[in-house]
Amino acid sequence: MASKTTSLLIALLFAACASNRLPNFFPYPVTEAAQWNEPIPANKSVPVLEEIYAHRSPLEDGIVYVNGKKVSKLLEPTGTIAHELIHGINSYLRGYKKGHSGFYVPYVGAAQLKDTRAKRNQLAAFIPKELRGIDGNGGRFHQYVQTAAGTEPDAGTYFDPSSGQKLWGQTDVFYIWDEWNAYIYGGRADLEAEQKFGPEHWDSMTGPVEFMIYSLAGLMAIQQYDQTYGQSSDFEDAKALFIFLAEDTVNLLSDGQGSSLFPEKSNLYLKRFRESQSREAQAMRSFVKTQLGEDWAKKYLGI
């Protein structure tokens, strides 16, 4: 009988194959020489977090700052631990191939996309006001995509800790995809924790769905602002990975119905995406059907 891990891998790959757009995943090995080896607490030990932890970046320090003090990441909620570890893995993957962003998928492996000239604040023009924030009131849109003043947010930007001077930022659209990637499997970890230990009451279903829409806008920004990329095989690779991650997002939300993880917010958000008659929302739906296929659009996004 196949193991649980093998069965899930087969299921994930089948989902991608069903769309005839399999991303170019490559094996990402278990981390043998780790800088950080603190064990996951028993009350947070769920399969997907264990899988992510086993593949943590060799450079992972396991530290977060709370009120200016260093504390262990393992003090955070289960999904937050998974989310932050994926960011660390993706950062490590960026060192694999110059000019490429990396994305880790538990049980599957890693994928890389060539960087684009399209910037994250350019994707704002493609996101209708009613989809800016899970409740349509800004929220994470202002934190990650574009501030209320129309400038680039500090999220993803690095500052000199002594002077406060801005050093550099991950400003292309794939910075948003990195967040999406982390939200999906952080959400899966929280759902597994709820199923194993009881209600979590974390807002874990909203990030994956909200950032799916922002990442979709990223594809649209590439097509408009980096036309050479938009006509290349690199764009086809990006679309393939979008489809895979979007299917995982939709499946996570389906599995999370009835949980304490606020799936109802994401249900309403997707309803606005499907039904809004704003010019931007109609353009997003048209882009999905044209670029990703009408059958896929109907099956996974209900449009």
Q: For the whole model, what pTM was predicted?
A: 0.90
- List per-residue pLDDT tens for the chain, 303 residues long: 344 443 344 344 434 434 456 899 999 999 999 999 999 999 999 999 999 999 999 999 999 888 888 999 999 999 999 999 999 999 999 999 999 999 999 999 999 999 999 998 899 999 999 999 999 999 999 999 999 998 888 887 655 556 666 555 558 899 999 999 999 999 999 999 999 999 999 999 999 999 999 999 999 999 999 999 999 999 999 999 999 999 999 999 999 999 999 999 999 999 999 999 999 999 999 999 999 999 999 999 999
- Kindly report the number of other CB atoms within 10 A of residue 169's CB atom: 17
Within a 13 Å sphere around the CA of 275, how many CA atoms are in the beta-carbon half? 6
Residue in 223, 231, 243, 234 with CA at minimum distance from that of residue 118: 223
Residue 51 tokens, joined: 């899988």
Residue 146 tokens, joined: 């574009």
